[in-house]
Structures are given as structure tokens and as C-alpha cells.
Structure 1
């Protein structure tokens, strides 16, 4: 199977890292939804990254859905999600916040880099920026009170998603989100990025 999409997308990168942690073998095809639009479209007419192209030709979209399917392919003893309902609810809460931070970061990047300056709408950008900060503020409070595991063998979907979201925001929007405002997130993400699976799956 092939994972289609650029690793500079937090959604593609979190999917790739999680699939590696699950022990799944896959080929990564680095296609851009902009620069290689036509080639991407031939694989998936919707042109949505990430796309998982299965061996039988089927396509699966959306990082959360791909990882849900990936969990079913992994060794039963390997999982990145807790089975206990209370722990699982907390994990899903953190993933949702990390995905919101990723989504709002992507929206701001598109607004600043894809839309002509004369067509940018400042009130909307300000609202998205507030949402981005809100997601990181809740994450900062949560992981300060309940630190994420720093044992690489215990990385979860939430830990991966948080670290990847933070790296993307800092790479693309350092002037919007100051790393000094979120010390717990900064320290955890820095630790995660030093781990082998993150280093071999760098943002492009």
C-alpha cells in the first residue's frame, strides 16, 4: 500500500509516523496537492492528503480514518490507542485538539501564502489565530497536569499528533505562536523530534 502526500502536511506526517509505530509496511509517495495536482488527481480524484492507496486500488482518505483502518492491520498486541473507555476518551480529546491546531495552522498558511494580499480578510485570520491559540492553550494545560509518556515505546496517537502539529506551527507560523508561551508543548515536541521514527520522517 502507498501513503500519498507531502510530509510537510501535519496530517500526512502524523499518519506516516503512526503507521511506522504500528509496524506496518508501506510506500510513501510524496505528491503535492498544488505542484503535482494532476498526478495526485489520477490516484484520487478528490486530491486530498493523506490518501492511502491500497493494493486492490481502493483509496482511503482522512488521517483519522486511515489510522483507524491501520489499527486493524497491525499486530493485535500493537496499538496506539488505549482500550479503557476513560483513557480512550482523554486520548481522543487530545487528538481532537492537536488536529484542530493543525487545521487552523494550515488555514492561516493558506491565507498568508496562497491568497493574494489584497484579498486576505484580516478579521477571519484573527479568528482562526484565536482558535489556534485556544487549542494550544488547552493542550498546554492538560499535558502540564498529565504529562505525556516520554518512553518512545509508549507513544500514542495523541503524542504523535501533538508533536507533529507543534512542529508544523513552529515551522510555518513562528510569528503567530511563540514557543515560549507553551513551554510544556515545546519540551515534549522537542523530545519527540529527537526520536528515530520522527527523524526518519521529517517534514519536507
Structure 2
């Protein structure tokens, strides 16, 4: 198995961490969609990270689709998406708002770091920032009051995705989301980042 993409992408990192948690061996190819565009295009002409290539040559893109594929490689009891309906629904809710927070963080980074200053549109930036904070607010409410991992009595994709989203935001937009404003998600992420599977896949 090969995972192609940089760990500074939260989408690449959530797949890498999940592979470690699932106990699936893989090769990580740290290729940038910006600095190594042509090299990436030789693997995947769409140049989208993460790109996953299985041992039989199967190629998948989009982290959520890759993770669904990987979950089917292990017994049901080990899958990162819970099988029980209520817990699965909760995990889907957490994943959805965490992915929204990721997306809105990425959009702000691109707007400020890639778009020329004279072409930046402040009303749009403010809207995206408000959407990001709305996602954190809902996510913090979902996480608050839950002891241990979020569902199924073990670490699941809900924990991984929420923790990765928060760490990415704090790294890329320091000071934008105050941990004191979102204490539950900040605590969950801090706890997850001490796990060997997270330590093995540093963002920076």
C-alpha cells in the first residue's frame, strides 16, 4: 500500500493515522501537490492528495472514500466507523463538522497565503471564518461531556478526524480558534496527539 501526499494536509494525515490504528502496513510518499506537481501528476493526473494505491494497483482519492475502503480490510470489530447504528450516526455527525472545520481552515490559508493581497475578498474571508467557528461550536458541543473516546468504547474515526482537524487549525492559523472557547475539542485533540499512531505522523 502507498499513501501519497504531505502530512501538512489534514486529509492525508487522517488516512495515515487510520492506517496505523488499523495495523495496516503502508509506504508514505511525501510528495507535494505544489512543489512536485509534475511528479505527483505521474501517479495521479488529477494531482489530489491524498492519493492511495493498493498492492493490486487500485487507486483511490478523497480521504473519506479511502477510509471506507480501508475499513473493509479488517474485521468489523476493528473498523474505525462503528457498526452499531446510533454510534455510527454520532460518528458521522462528528466527522461531518470536523471536515467542515478542516475545509474552512484550508480556504482561509489559501486566501491569505496563495492569493495576492490585492485580489483577496474580505467579505468572503469573514464568511468562511464564521463558518469555521460555527463548525467548531457544534463540534465542541458534540464532544463535551463524553468521557474517554467518543463512541464504541475505543478510538474511532470520529476521534481521529476531530483531533486532526483541531491540530491542523492550531498549526496553520495560530490564535484563530482559542482553545478556551472550544475546550472539549482541544482536550480531545491533545489526548489523541499523545498516541503512538499520532506521534508517528507529525504534522510539521
TM-score normalized with structure 1 length:
0.95
- Range with greater deviation from structure 2 (94-103 or 153-162): 153-162
Question: What is the aligned-residue RMSD (CA, Å)?
Answer: 1.6
Give me the whole-angstrom Cα distance separating, in 2, the residues matched to 1:77 and 1:158. Answer: 16
Bigger shift: residues 134-143 or 69-78: 69-78
Is the CA contact 1:23–1:74 (under 8 Å) kept in the aligned structure 2? no
- Residues 80-159 of structure 1 correspond to what in structure 2 (within 5 A)? 80-149=80-149, 154-159=154-159
Shift of 1:76: 4.2
With the length of structure 2 as denominator, give the TM-score of the two structures: 0.95
Contact 2:101 2:135 in 1 (8 A): yes
Matched residues in 1 for 2:81 and 2:121: separation? 39
Find the aligned partners of 1:17 and 1:32 in 2 and give their Cα distance. 19
1:65 aligns with 2:60: no
Shift of 1:155: 0.9
Work out whether residues 150 and 159 of structure 2, in 8 Å CA contact, stay in contact via their aligned partners in 1: no
* DSSP-derived class of the 1:155 partner: coil
Deviation at 1:73, TM superposition (A): 1.2
Listed as ranges, the gaps of 5+ residues in structure 2 are none
* Contact preservation (8 Å) 2:143, 2:150: no
CA distance in 2, matches of 1:86, 1:187: 24
Unaligned runs of 5+ in 1: none
Deviation at 1:188, TM superposition (A): 1.2
Counterpart position of 1:163: 163
Please state whether the residue corresponding to 1:180 is helix, strand or coil. coil
Distance 1:172 1:77 in 2: 35
Aligned-partner SS, 2:28: strand
- Structure 2 equivalent of residue 180 of structure 1: 180
Matched-pair contact (CA < 8 Å) for 2:76–2:83: no
Extract structure 1 runs of 4+ deviating beyond 6 A: none
Aligned position for 2:56:
56
The Cα of 1:175 is off from its aligned counterpart by 2.9
Deviation at 1:56, TM superposition (A): 3.3
3-state SS of the aligned residue for 2:78? coil
Moved more, 139-148 or 193-202: 139-148
Change (3 A) 1:148 1:135: farther
- Displacement, 1:64? 0.4
Cα distance in structure 2, aligned partners of 1:148 and 1:108: 32
